[in-house]
Structure 1
Amino acid sequence: MRALLVVNPKATTTTERSRDVLVRALGSQLELTVEYTRKRGHAASLARAAAESGVDLVVSLGGDGTVNEVVNGLMTAGHVLTSPGTSPAFRLPALAVVPGGSTNVFARALGLPRDWVEGTGVILDGLRSGRHRVIGLGRADDRYFTFTAGLGLDAAVTRRVEQARLRGRTSTPALYVRSLIGQVLSGEDRKAPPLSIERPGEETELGLGTVIIQNTAPWTYVGDRPINPNPQASFDRGLDVLAVRSLGVATTTRTVTQMSLRHAEPRGRNLLRLHDQAEFTVVAARPQSFQLDGDYLGERQKVHFLSVPEALRVIC
């Protein structure tokens, strides 16, 4: 079996020595090529080229950002875009994920171990037994995502965290909490919520302050604690949405508290919930922060979202 291992050398939970061990373990079972990413977007290019060359498996070693790039590379491979008939999941190489980031939401949502050694063992066992899972993806305009997307407050917090990391801060739950508090207290968009959701055949939902889209549950983790605004979200169904109408300090604090409690589903008149959505568009009255799979992607005023069922085979 031909395989490509895409390595993010900046992955936070692995070392050069541990990566060498991983390469030897995978190389004992596979005809393995190893590529190291050099810049943003490189993982997507590597995965796309691998798919177009006919490899059987692409393994991602890194965090959720690396996984997102690999998935986008696979899903935009030339033969996937042009071949009719069967779903992309059975025209593409399978995907395997070795968790190497700080949070690893996608891998954990699949039930994979957080430890890269145990995760490698699961991959090898899955390859020997032929075990895989077919999952759906989300698409935002022309880019795919695996577990989440967001506009407004959610993405603005992601922007603050990324800015702090560029200044040398370590990604920790405390950093996210401080970033959230700082963004809420900034008062941006509190008086005139700028977002709306348009759905085919439905009335437009107006006056939304932030929109969280999930392709699976949980939305993220704070340490070991899953955060679940849309607990029914699943790789096997359409997209789920939680939108917050008002970003007042009291209402936002209440919603965040509900989200952080185990087995608690956020509720209230301030919230809009949509389940198992195939397609919708988020429109903003003014540019809003935008994130996919925890990566800040700048500002947008309109994003079209689509559920892509049975898109990818994952070894898990």
Structure 2
Amino acid sequence: MRALLVVNPKATTTSERSRDVLVRALRSAVNLTVEYTTRRGHAATLARAAAESGVDVVVTLGGDGTINEAVNGLMTARVALEGISGPMANALPALAVVPGGSTNVFARALGLPRDWVDGTSVILEALRDGRHRVIGLGRADDRYFTFAAGVGLDAAVVRRVEQARLRGRKSTPALYFRSIVGQFVVGGDRKTPPLSIERPGEPTEVDLGTVVVQNTAPWTYLGDRPINPNPEASFDRGLDVLAMRRLAVTSTTRTLAQLATRKGGPHGKQVLHLHDQDEFTVVASRPQAFQLDGDYLGERQKVRFVSVAQALRVIC
């Protein structure tokens, strides 16, 4: 079995020594090639080339951003589909993820341990047993995502966190909380919510201040605490949505408190939930922050979201 290990050398929870241990462990099970990323988007290029060369498994060591790039590389590879039975995922290399980031939402949503050593053990056992899972993905315009996307306040907070990390700050729950408070204080969309959601055959949902899209649950973690706007979101169904109609101080504070404490997701007249959606479009009256899998991608005025069923095989 041929495998490619894509390593983000800046992964926050691993060291050079631990990477060497991982490489030796994987080489005991597969014919392994190792590549290190050197720039943004490099993991996508490496994964795409691996798929097109017939590699069986792509393994990532990094955080959710590295995984997202690798997934997009796999999903955009030109692979031969002739003779493939079942879902498109059967034509692509399987994906295995070793958690190496600060949050590791995707790996934890798959049920993998947080620790990279324990995660590697699970992957090795699954490779020996031939065990995998086929999952669905989300797609926003031409880019895929594994667990979540956001337009508006959610993405603006991600932008603030990325800016703080570029200044040398560590990604912690406290940093995210301060970023939420800071963005809410300076945000200018509370009185005139700019977002709407258009769905085929359904009335348009208007006057929305922020939109969170989930492909699985939870949406994210604050340390060990899962944050679950849509607890029924699943890799096996369509996309789930949480939107807030207005970002008034009282209602937003209530919703944030519910996110932190409730297992059933927030509720209230300012909260909109959509479950198991095949497709919809978020439209903004002016450019809004946009993020996929915790990676800030700039501002957009229109994003079409699609659920892609049975898209990828995952070793877990």
Asked if structure 2 preserves the Cα contact closer than 8 Å seen for 1:80 and 1:88, the reply is no
**Where does residue 198 of structure 2 map in the other structure?**
198
Gaps of 5+ in 2: none
Secondary structure of the residue that 2:216 maps to in structure 1?
A: coil
Distance 1:52 1:87 in 2: 18
**Where does residue 69 of structure 1 map in the other structure?**
69
Distance 2:226 2:89 in 1: 28
Q: Give, as a single letter, the amino acid of the residue that structure 1 aligns with 2:33.
A: T
1:89 aligns with 2:94: no
Distance 1:46 1:83 in 2: 25
Asked if structure 2 preserves the Cα contact closer than 8 Å seen for 1:240 and 1:273, the reply is yes
Name the CA shift for 1:139/1:81 in 2 (closer, same or farther; >3 Å).
farther
**Where does residue 265 of structure 1 map in the other structure?**
265
Deviation at 1:262, TM superposition (A): 4.3
- Give the TM-score of the pair, scaled to structure 1: 0.98
1:240 aligns with 2:245: no
**Where does residue 58 of structure 2 map in the other structure?**
58
Secondary structure of the residue that 1:34 maps to in structure 2?
A: strand
How many corresponding residue pairs?
316
Distance 1:169 1:246 in 2: 31
**Where does residue 210 of structure 2 map in the other structure?**
210
**Where does residue 131 of structure 1 map in the other structure?**
131
Deviation at 1:23, TM superposition (A): 0.2
Asked if structure 2 preserves the Cα contact closer than 8 Å seen for 1:135 and 1:312, the reply is yes
Deviation at 1:57, TM superposition (A): 0.2
Deviation at 1:80, TM superposition (A): 6.5
Asked if structure 2 preserves the Cα contact closer than 8 Å seen for 1:226 and 1:262, the reply is no
Name the CA shift for 1:113/1:84 in 2 (closer, same or farther; >3 Å).
closer
Distance 2:262 2:102 in 1: 21
Secondary structure of the residue that 1:298 maps to in structure 2?
A: strand
Distance 1:172 1:203 in 2: 39
Distance 2:33 2:244 in 1: 46
Deviations along 1:105-128, whole A, 9 cap, x unmatched?
Answer: 000000000000000000000011
1:9-20 alignment to 2 at 5 Å?
9-20=9-20
1:109-188 alignment to 2 at 5 Å?
109-188=109-188
Q: Give, as a single letter, the amino acid of the residue that structure 2 aligns with 1:4.
A: L
**Where does residue 276 of structure 1 map in the other structure?**
276
Q: Give, as a single letter, the amino acid of the residue that structure 2 aligns with 1:126.
A: A
Secondary structure of the residue that 2:169 maps to in structure 1?
A: coil
Deviation at 1:88, TM superposition (A): 2.0
Asked if structure 1 preserves the Cα contact closer than 8 Å seen for 2:229 and 2:259, the reply is yes
Distance 1:111 1:84 in 2: 28
Secondary structure of the residue that 1:280 maps to in structure 2?
A: strand
**In percent, how many aligned pairs have the same letter?**
77
Deviation at 1:79, TM superposition (A): 1.7
Asked if structure 1 preserves the Cα contact closer than 8 Å seen for 2:81 and 2:91, the reply is no
Asked if structure 2 preserves the Cα contact closer than 8 Å seen for 1:288 and 1:301, the reply is yes
**Where does residue 254 of structure 1 map in the other structure?**
254
Secondary structure of the residue that 1:286 maps to in structure 2?
A: strand
Deviations along 1:277-301, whole A, 9 cap, x unmatched?
Answer: 0000000000000000000000000
Secondary structure of the residue that 2:79 maps to in structure 1?
A: helix
Distance 2:139 2:286 in 1: 22
Distance 2:106 2:73 in 1: 17
Distance 1:305 1:83 in 2: 30
Gaps of 5+ in 1: none
**Where does residue 310 of structure 2 map in the other structure?**
310
Asked if structure 1 preserves the Cα contact closer than 8 Å seen for 2:14 and 2:100, the reply is yes
Deviations along 1:265-288, whole A, 9 cap, x unmatched?
Answer: 200000111000000000000000
Q: Give, as a single letter, the amino acid of the residue that structure 2 aligns with 1:79.
A: V
Deviation at 1:82, TM superposition (A): 9.3
**Where does residue 189 of structure 1 map in the other structure?**
189
Secondary structure of the residue that 1:96 maps to in structure 2?
A: strand
For structure 1, which segment, 71-80 or 149-158, has the greater mean C-alpha deviation from structure 2 after superposition?
71-80
1:30 aligns with 2:30: yes
Asked if structure 2 preserves the Cα contact closer than 8 Å seen for 1:229 and 1:259, the reply is yes
**Where does residue 102 of structure 1 map in the other structure?**
102
Q: Give, as a single letter, the amino acid of the residue that structure 2 aligns with 1:107.
A: A
Asked if structure 2 preserves the Cα contact closer than 8 Å seen for 1:242 and 1:273, the reply is yes
For structure 1, which segment, 147-156 or 247-256, has the greater mean C-alpha deviation from structure 2 after superposition?
247-256
Q: Give, as a single letter, the amino acid of the residue that structure 2 aligns with 1:229.
A: P
**Where does residue 8 of structure 1 map in the other structure?**
8
Q: Give, as a single letter, the amino acid of the residue that structure 2 aligns with 1:302.
A: K
Deviation at 1:185, TM superposition (A): 1.1
